Amino acid sequence: MIDFSLPENVRQQLQMAQMMASQVMRPKARQLDENEHERAKEFTQFMWPIAADMQKATLERARRKAEGLVEERKGPGIGNIRMIFMTEILAWGDVAQWLSTPGAMLGGSAIEAVGTMEQKERFLSRFADHRNPPAWGGMAMTEPGAGSDTAAIATTAVLDPETNEWVLNGEKIFCTNGGLALNESNGLIVVWATLDRGAGRAGMRPFVVEAGTPGVTVTKEELKHGIRASNTVSIVLSDARIPYDNMLGSAEIQKPDEAGSKGFKGAMKTFDASRPLIAASAIGVARAALEITCEKLAEAGIVPRYDAPPHERTAIEQAIIEMEADLKAAWLLTLRAGSMMDHGQPNALESSMAKAKAGEVGTRIGQTCVELLGPLGYSREWLVEKLMRDSKIADIYEGTHEINLLIVARQILGYTGRELR
């Protein structure tokens, strides 16, 4: 029997998250949406101690593993399932504020995936002490000429033999929390660059770039369609010098199917963990839109008749029931992807399935809810139009809908990236 029940202490944490989402995040959602570059200060103050404690626990587990100490457990962990539940609730409150959560975030995931224990201690400890000022981490991968095709990344990393430093040159765009990571004294961002463009993905490496590094400039804050409270920037690296030990993985370039490409493949596995969280965020946004819509329709006397035969239901009733079914299907796929990680099972297929399904469902539900509510749904009087705008990003970042479907096809059919494009 599949069981996603949670321990009492986790349920209490989720109750706190729900309180935060309903009492702090939701009331600020409209204001932050209409003042795009305003900081979500109340949310940051609430989340920083929680995020720091979680990073501290993660770092402690890494230390124990490095020391060869085996944690005694009666069963599998629930860390990923807990984060999925937490993300869905916070995204229900306001997905843009959730994206602004302080902590190492995706950059930290890359460090945890392929960094040495010394690198984890050096870079992640700053996020593990709530007595420090809030700090952010980020990932810089997308470029003007390289989106889903990561092999096209043009940012270069060249080793200066005299100083034993890496010199990075290039431009990155759409960096979530990039401004917060680089403008706050304790932040960092993981920048993807190539050691040899001729080597393709085998030449790709992630580099940890810390705040205050000369030659690293935040050049633009994006004006966005949705998730407007989220900090999204462009970054230029101009002869930025990075310590040799800030590169994650080996500097040796080997053939794509050999050990030298493990740095790229290992860091890319961070998306197997993050895609279910993006799916959960999409579900949270869609649930918020659907709840508001059902509430407004109920006020007008329109309530779905679940016991009525399909041919007797109105178009509105049928639309609501179909949205609820789609939302549940996406939620179960997401829980499965997270549960597999907690059980130590590979989940590349399941995480891409969950992300693709949730992104598509979330976008469709946002649009349908606006349509069902008519002019008031499209106006700023209600929050549904904002939720519709927020929903689309889950279908784009961390791999577009099409890229995730391509990953699913490769996994099911057994093709490599070169065989099925």
Q: What is the pLDDT of residue 260?
A: 43
Is residue 54 within 8 Å of residue 87, measured between CB atoms?
A: no
**Phi and psi dihedrals of 308, rounded to 5?**
-85, 145
In order of 339, 416, 417, the CA distances from 410 in angstroms are 22, 6, 7
**Alpha-carbon gap, residue 228 to 284, rounded angstroms:** 17
Give CA separation, 404 vs 38, 279, 291, 400, 408, in Å: 33, 12, 28, 6, 6
Residue 258: per-residue pLDDT: 45
C-alpha pair distances (Å), 307 with each of 126, 310, 311, 321: 55, 9, 12, 11
Cβ atoms of 268 and 214 within 8 Å: the answer is no
What pLDDT shows up at residue 369? 98
Beta strands, E only, 211-338: 216-221, 232-243
Domains identified in the chain and CATH numbers: 8-127 (1.10.540.10), 137-257 (2.40.110.10), 268-413 (1.20.140.10)
Write out the two tokens for 66: 């490095």
In the structure encoding, which two tokens stand for residue 166, read together? Answer: 């890496």
At residue 96, what is the residue type?
Answer: A
Confidence at residue 255, expressed as pLDDT on a 0 to 100 scale: 61
pLDDT of residue 127: 96
Question: Residue 230's pLDDT is what?
Answer: 95
* Dihedrals phi, psi of 177, to nearest 5 degrees: 65, 15
CA–CA distance, 239 with 253 (Å, rounded to integer):
22
CA atoms of 173 and 221, how far apart (whole Å): 10
Query: Using CA atoms, how far apart are residues 327 and 117, in angstroms rounded to an integer?
Result: 40
Per-residue confidence in pLDDT tens, the chain, 421 aa: 566 778 898 899 999 999 999 999 999 999 999 999 899 999 999 999 999 999 999 999 899 988 887 665 566 678 899 999 999 999 999 999 999 999 999 999 899 988 999 999 999 999 999 999 999 999 999 999 887 777 789 999 999 999 999 999 999 999 999 999 998 889 999 999 999 988 888 888 999 999 999 999 999 999 999 999 999 999 999 999 999 999 998 888 766 544 445 556 766 778 898 999 999 999 999 999 999 999 999 999 999 999 999 999 999 999 999 999 999 999 999 999 999 999 989 999 999 999 999 999 999 999 999 999 999 999 999 999 999 999 999 999 988 999 999 999 999 999 988 888 8
List all residues 6 or more positions away from 363 whose beta carbon is below 8 Å from its beta carbon.
391, 392, 394, 395
Q: Which two three-digit tokens encode residue 173?
A: 């765009």
